[in-house]
Homo-oligomer: A and B are copies of this chain.
Amino acid sequence: MTANRRQMKLGAFLWATGHHIAAWRHPNAHVTAGIDIDHYIQLARTAEAAKFDLIFCEDAAGLREANIAIASQTSRSIGFEPISLLAALAAQTSHIGLVATASTSYNEPYGLARAFSSLDQISGGRSGWNLVTSASHIEAANFGSTGLRPHSDRYERAREFATVVAGLWHGDGANALNHDGRNFSVRDPLDLPPSPQGAPVMVQAGASDEGRDLAARTADVVFTAAQTFEEAKAFYDDLKARLVACGREPDDIKIMPGVAPVVAASEAEARAKVDELQELIPDDVGVALLSSYLSTDLSAYPVDGPLPELPATEGMQSRQALVVEQSRRDNLSIRQLARHFAGARGHWRVVGTPAQIADELQARFEGGAADGFNVMPSYFPGELDAFATLVVPELQRRGLFRQDYEGRTLREHLGLKKPVRK
């Protein structure tokens, strides 16, 4: 509880009805949350009152599921476009950071840099861009007929895209950028001056070798998925080593793994909450969701049998590997893996009392496996409220999380340097 103790960073990952696949079937869930701006305003204010560093919004330019059976059995397939959502939330909040996902495959760097700079001005220096290269065939089909491009091509474009955006955000605004590259040609400086935080925060979540390399060179924050402490620690050490190899300091990137907490006054009550949600997942939906994530149709395999060998695909290679690894490690059947995966989308789930959850977070934080966490409540607003009112005060009591904001910008919350325009 010393004044200068290192404190963890917390993100609130907002996603429509909730992160659990069956969230919309929960009796306390808000089924049309994805298109209810007042719902999002309420969540943002809850997170801000609890002093979260940021709220985070995923995105995909298309339906979230190719399988119409899944799409019609979740409420995830509808939702706001993130820039407009976060701009509206900027006008209803004063401190919390606002991070939106946007694709390097289906945008142009000048347009994207402008939109995030604009959000940064509107919010007084609170915006962040989560760079994704878009691994889904569904989006590809809405942006031309050529299909999903190979992983390495997407990353080659993403690298150049990130270079251009950084040039626009960090340039002096008076001189032309004059970028002329393989994918993009961009002449002018940006038509917006620096915000109070200098430039939007750059967030990434790619876990492949190419993804980690790009993050080490350009990211301020990295979201990641890790089931075990060892996985989280290995990722953390690897990325910080790459960072140093790029001439940056270890603290220049905040690594924030996803965590799906289920908290209650007693452990038994928390377990009962998990079971209630897991039982709401129909087998066919769980298996179809897992099939979609692994880009492999599992419906023909026995649901009580093990996961078959998978072919390599152009999808999320590194995250697939984590799921496969877990199924082998825990000797899970397809049904068990499907339910487990559907419940937390491959992220780390912690279940228990506020003290138990704080113990788990503290162990990874102090063990050098995380700089903070991206919190993924199973359904909204109930489980965000529970985390904010039960877990956050426990973390504060332990001196592991701020009692109040010390600054106004997202970079100040995260302890990141303010970039100087060159």
Given known pairs A110-B61, A111-B106, A111-B107, the reply for A191 and B79 (CB within 8 Å) is yes
Rounded to whole Å, the gap between the CB of A366 and the closest CB of chain B is 38
Please tell me if A338 contacts chain B, counting CB pairs below 8 Å: no
Choose from B61, B119, B184 the contact partner of A144 (Cβ within 8 Å). B184
Alpha-carbon distance A198/B150, docked complex (angstroms): 38
Residues of B within 8 A of A37 (CB): 90-91, 121-122
Please tell me if A78 contacts chain B, counting CB pairs below 8 Å: yes
Rounded to whole Å, the gap between the CB of A129 and the closest CB of chain B is 13
Please tell me if A42 contacts chain B, counting CB pairs below 8 Å: no
Given known pairs A87-B85, A122-B37, the reply for A188 and B92 (CB within 8 Å) is no
Of all chain B residues, the one with the shortest Cβ separation from A144 is B185
Choose from B83, B106, B117 the contact partner of A108 (Cβ within 8 Å). B106
Would B118 and A188 count as touching, CB distance under 8 A?
A: no
Alpha-carbon distance A119/B83, docked complex (angstroms): 10
Residues of B within 8 A of A242 (CB): none
Choose from B110, B118, B141 the contact partner of A62 (Cβ within 8 Å). B110
Please tell me if A63 contacts chain B, counting CB pairs below 8 Å: yes
Would A122 and B192 count as touching, CB distance under 8 A?
A: no
Alpha-carbon distance A90/B114, docked complex (angstroms): 20
Given known pairs A62-B188, A193-B78, the reply for A122 and B84 (CB within 8 Å) is yes
Would B61 and A141 count as touching, CB distance under 8 A?
A: no
Alpha-carbon distance A91/B80, docked complex (angstroms): 14
Chain A 113-139 against B: per-residue CB contact (8 Å), 1 yes, 0 no? 011011101100000000000000010
Please tell me if A35 contacts chain B, counting CB pairs below 8 Å: yes
Alpha-carbon distance A61/B189, docked complex (angstroms): 11
Alpha-carbon distance A110/B61, docked complex (angstroms): 7
Please tell me if A145 contacts chain B, counting CB pairs below 8 Å: yes
Please tell me if A88 contacts chain B, counting CB pairs below 8 Å: yes
For this chain, the copies found in one complex come to 2
Please tell me if A301 contacts chain B, counting CB pairs below 8 Å: no
Please tell me if A77 contacts chain B, counting CB pairs below 8 Å: yes
Of all chain B residues, the one with the shortest Cβ separation from A32 is B193
Rounded to whole Å, the gap between the CB of A76 and the closest CB of chain B is 9
Most buried by B among A79, A90, A118: A118
Would A118 and B192 count as touching, CB distance under 8 A?
A: no
Choose from B78, B83, B108, B110 the contact partner of A115 (Cβ within 8 Å). B83
Would B118 and A191 count as touching, CB distance under 8 A?
A: no
Please tell me if A386 contacts chain B, counting CB pairs below 8 Å: no
Residues of B within 8 A of A119 (CB): 81, 84
Alpha-carbon distance A62/B168, docked complex (angstroms): 11
Rounded to whole Å, the gap between the CB of A374 and the closest CB of chain B is 23
Please tell me if A64 contacts chain B, counting CB pairs below 8 Å: yes
Given known pairs A84-B87, A145-B180, the reply for A62 and B122 (CB within 8 Å) is no
Q: Please report which residues of chain A, range 72-111, place their CB below 8 angstroms from some CB of chain B when the two chains form the complex.
A: 77-81, 83-92, 106-108, 110-111
Apart from the given pairs A84-B86, A84-B122, 19 other A-B contacts in the complex at a CB distance below 8 Å = A35-B121, A37-B91, A62-B188, A62-B191, A63-B189, A80-B118, A83-B84, A83-B87, A84-B84, A84-B115, A85-B87, A87-B91, A106-B110, A110-B143, A138-B188, A142-B186, A142-B187, A143-B185, A144-B185
Q: List 27 A-B contacts (CB under 8 A).
A: A35-B193, A37-B121, A61-B110, A61-B111, A62-B110, A62-B191, A63-B188, A64-B191, A78-B193, A79-B192, A81-B117, A83-B84, A84-B86, A84-B118, A84-B119, A85-B87, A87-B87, A88-B88, A91-B91, A106-B108, A106-B110, A111-B143, A138-B188, A141-B186, A142-B187, A144-B184, A145-B185
